[in-house]
Structure 1
Amino acid sequence: MNYRAIITDIEGTTSRISFVTDVLFPYAAKHLPDFIRQHQAEPAVASELNEVRKLMQQADADTDSCISQLLQWIAEDKKVTPLKTLQGMVWANGYQSGAFTGHIYADVAAKLADWHRDGIQLYVYSSGSVAAQQLLFQHSDFGDLTPLFSGYFDTRIGAKRDVSAYAAILQQLQLPPRQVLFLSDVTAELDAACQLGIATVQLTREDQSAGKHKTAKDFYQVQELMQ
């Protein structure tokens, strides 16, 4: 493959979309309220609650009001950074307790290992927090895959449909765009990346509507397309 770095999305790309909607989101919705009440005085949690208050535009909002807002964001699948960070903290407990493992497709585990062995730098870019990304790959169905990755990006670097986010990622990678490949199932994300000259492949595992990008059903087909 003629790429020095591959950036991959998670939902619909490395993992079933339903893993997030059917496992992670319900677990967070169930356990988030008690987690916040128990840990709200800890600096990391307190800081995120303050960010929630800023987004609510209610500086004096009490803990229950913040919890209600967070649960509403979960129900609406909002890509809100403090929500993603707090969800990651709750999911850490779930992974570590063995309540679930991170779903990864078998072809993903195999090809990530191959690409890493070939010297390609691997990165994740997902709307979930970096901590949540690391947890999923650390506690995956195929064991700890985190040693394969060179880095992680989340919404702190920018929204996934904004060209500026990919410009910021390229700046951190210090690579020309033609040497970077981005994998996602979402056409709008791929559109943003390709505006900068980044190579793209759309994963169509769950019959997503294809755009103008090359498409692949799995990571084996990605390999075939990019040779």
Structure 2
Amino acid sequence: MINVIVLDIEGTTSPTSSVRDELYGYTRTRLPGWLDENCSGAAESIIAETRTLAEQPDASVAAVAAILINWLNTDVKAEPLKSAQGIICAEGFRNGSLYGEFFPDVPPMLRAWRESGLELYIYSSGSVRNQKDWFAYARPGNLSPLITGHFDLTTAGPKREASSYEKIAGTIGVPAESILFLSDHSDELDAAVAAGWQAIGVSRPGEPNPPRPPHPWISDFADIEPNPPRE
């Protein structure tokens, strides 16, 4: 019996291009100026963490910006980058520069699943702050009331490690076998299954990650029956 559905965002609920082009692009443009403007305030800890991770303790603010932008361009899942992106993109969502984009089948199915009594959670490498804004400032309208909770790399751990999924199940407080995970990435599906979850791959036209056995795969949320009737 499935009681909880945990969803990835990029390539699963939303086009990869919308995340990479919109969020990453906005962060890339604003990051140097934001670090400089907030180096003794909101950006201070981010600068310090970046210097430590990069093993460049004397890096200037401009050098830190270059490090973070390089991580952004190479998709490094570094916590200071995700923290900076969360703050910077929060501005973009609120000033109308950014919106959450979703595949057409997603909003109606999220509503249908909630109406059926399922709890919905998000697990993404993007910061919880960005996740919440993505749903609150969605192009189709505010979807945040449909989501019970959010997890990211800081609160759960790496998405390709079974321990992260075990931690999420413990936080939610439900048996692992009652959780269904939806993602476009086979390694993430492997980790969820290793933690005792059920998992379905999402393969949408134009998305970069190919399906891989042994997981079942769908291309439309309407094809998912979390709890099919018994014969």
TM-score by length of 2: 0.92
Shift of residue 110, structure 1, vs aligned partner: 0.7
Would you say 1:220 and 2:222 are equivalent positions?
yes
Shift of residue 59, structure 1, vs aligned partner: 2.7
Would you say 1:139 and 2:141 are equivalent positions?
no
- Alignment match, 1:209: 210
- Alignment match, 1:106: 104
Q: Please give the alpha-carbon distance, in whole angstroms, between the structure 2 residues aligned to 1:144 and 1:50.
A: 35
CA offset digits 1:78-111 (Å, max 9, x no partner):
1111101101111111111111311012211111
> Unaligned stretches of 5+ in structure 1?
none
Q: Please give the alpha-carbon distance, in whole angstroms, between the structure 1 residues aligned to 2:161 and 2:44.
A: 29
CA offset digits 1:145-185 (Å, max 9, x no partner):
11111111111121100111111111101111110000000
Q: Contact between 2:163 and 2:195, CA under 8 Å: does it hold in 1?
A: no
Q: Please give the alpha-carbon distance, in whole angstroms, between the structure 2 residues aligned to 1:19 and 1:7.
A: 21
SS of residue matched to 1:152: strand
Identity of aligned residues (%): 36
Alignment of 1:151-162 (within 5 A): 151-156=149-154, 157-162=156-161
Shift of residue 144, structure 1, vs aligned partner: 1.3
CA offset digits 1:168-204 (Å, max 9, x no partner):
1111011111100000000000001001220100000
- Alignment match, 1:32: 31
Q: Please give the alpha-carbon distance, in whole angstroms, between the structure 2 residues aligned to 1:66 and 1:226.
A: 49
- Alignment match, 1:117: 115
Q: Contact between 2:89 and 2:98, CA under 8 Å: does it hold in 1?
A: no
Q: Please give the alpha-carbon distance, in whole angstroms, between the structure 1 residues aligned to 2:192 and 2:18.
A: 25
Q: Please give the alpha-carbon distance, in whole angstroms, between the structure 1 residues aligned to 2:48 and 2:221.
A: 40
Q: Please give the alpha-carbon distance, in whole angstroms, between the structure 2 residues aligned to 1:144 and 1:32.
A: 27
Q: Please give the alpha-carbon distance, in whole angstroms, between the structure 2 residues aligned to 1:197 and 1:168.
A: 12
Amino acid across the alignment from 1:97:
N
Alignment of 1:46-85 (within 5 A): 46-85=44-83
TM-score by length of 1: 0.94
Amino acid across the alignment from 1:134:
K
Shift of residue 41, structure 1, vs aligned partner: 1.8
Q: Please give the alpha-carbon distance, in whole angstroms, between the structure 1 residues aligned to 2:223 and 2:70.
A: 38
Shift of residue 226, structure 1, vs aligned partner: 4.8
Q: Which has the higher helix share?
A: 1
Q: Please give the alpha-carbon distance, in whole angstroms, between the structure 2 residues aligned to 1:103 and 1:176.
A: 32
Shifted more, 202-211 versus 24-33: the winner is: 202-211
Equivalent residues, number: 224
Shift of residue 126, structure 1, vs aligned partner: 0.4
Would you say 1:41 and 2:40 are equivalent positions?
yes
